[in-house]
Amino acid sequence: MYLLGLSAFYHDSAAALVNDGRIVAAAQEERFTRKKHDPGFPAHAARYCLEEAGIGMEDLEAVVFYDKPLLKFERLLETYYVFAPRGLKSFLSAIPVWIKEKVFLKRLIREEIAKLGNGKGKVPRLLFTDHHLSHAASAFYPSPFRESAILTVDGVGEWATASICHGKDREITVLKEMSFPHSVGLLYSAFTYYLGFRVNSGEYKLMGLAPYGDPTSEQVRRFRDLILDRLVHLKEDGSIWLNQEYFDYATGLSMVKDDKWLDLFGVPRRLPESEIEQVHGDLALAIQQVTEETVLKMAKTAKGLTGARTLCLSGGVALNCVANGKLLRQGIFDDVWIQSAAGDAGGALGAACAAYHIYYGKDRVMEGNGDAMQGAYLGPAFGDDTVRAIAKRYGAAFTLHEDDDSLAKEVAGDLASGKAVGWFQGRMEWGPRALGNRSILGDARNKDMQLRLNLKIKFRESFRPFAPSVLMEDLQEYFDTDRPSPYMLLIADVVESRRNPHPEGYHRMPIKDKLYTVRSDVPAITHLDYTARLQTVHKETNPLYWKLLAAFKEQTGYSVIVNTSFNVRGEPIVCTPEDAYRCFMRTDMDVLVVNRFIFRKENQPPWQEERNWRQDLVLD
| Other beta carbons within 10 Å of 477 | 14
CA dihedral 342, 317, 573, 465 (to 10 degrees): -140
- Rounded to whole angstroms, the Cα distance separating 38 from 128 reads 21
Q: Select from 186, 195, 165 the least CA-distant residue to 511.
A: 195
Question: Residue 163 class from Cβ within 10 Å (0-12 exposed, 13-18 middle, 19+ buried)?
Answer: buried
- Rounded to whole angstroms, the Cα distance separating 73 from 52 reads 35
Question: Residue 402 class from Cβ within 10 Å (0-12 exposed, 13-18 middle, 19+ buried)?
Answer: exposed
| Residue 203, Ramachandran bin (φ over 0: left; ψ between -120 and 50: alpha; else beta) | alpha
- Rounded to whole angstroms, the Cα distance separating 375 from 485 reads 11
- Rounded to whole angstroms, the Cα distance separating 90 from 86 reads 9
- Rounded to whole angstroms, the Cα distance separating 318 from 295 reads 9
Q: Select from 280, 255, 286, 252 the least CA-distant residue to 193.
A: 255
- Rounded to whole angstroms, the Cα distance separating 301 from 313 reads 14
- Rounded to whole angstroms, the Cα distance separating 549 from 415 reads 10
Residues 6+ apart with CB under 8 A from 595: 382, 383, 384, 387, 424, 425
Position 295: which residue type? V
| Other beta carbons within 10 Å of 409 | 18
The two counts, helices (H) then strands (E), for the chain are 20, 21
Parallel, antiparallel, or unpaired for β 591-594 and 597-600? antiparallel
Residue length, the chain? 620
Catalytic, 182? Answer no
**Sheet bearing 560-565, strands edge to edge:** 399-400, 597-600, 591-594, 421-424, 438-443, 560-565, 467-471, 531-537, 490-493
| Other beta carbons within 10 Å of 22 | 13
DSSP class of 508: G
- Rounded to whole angstroms, the Cα distance separating 289 from 234 reads 13
What CA–CA distances, in Å, run from 164 to 552, 589, 608? 43, 45, 54
- Rounded to whole angstroms, the Cα distance separating 387 from 247 reads 50
Residues linked to residue 241 through DSSP beta bridges, in sequence order: 233
- Rounded to whole angstroms, the Cα distance separating 313 from 172 reads 14
Q: Which of 11, 131, 166, 280 is catalytic?
A: 11
- Rounded to whole angstroms, the Cα distance separating 302 from 320 reads 18
- Known catalytic residues? 11
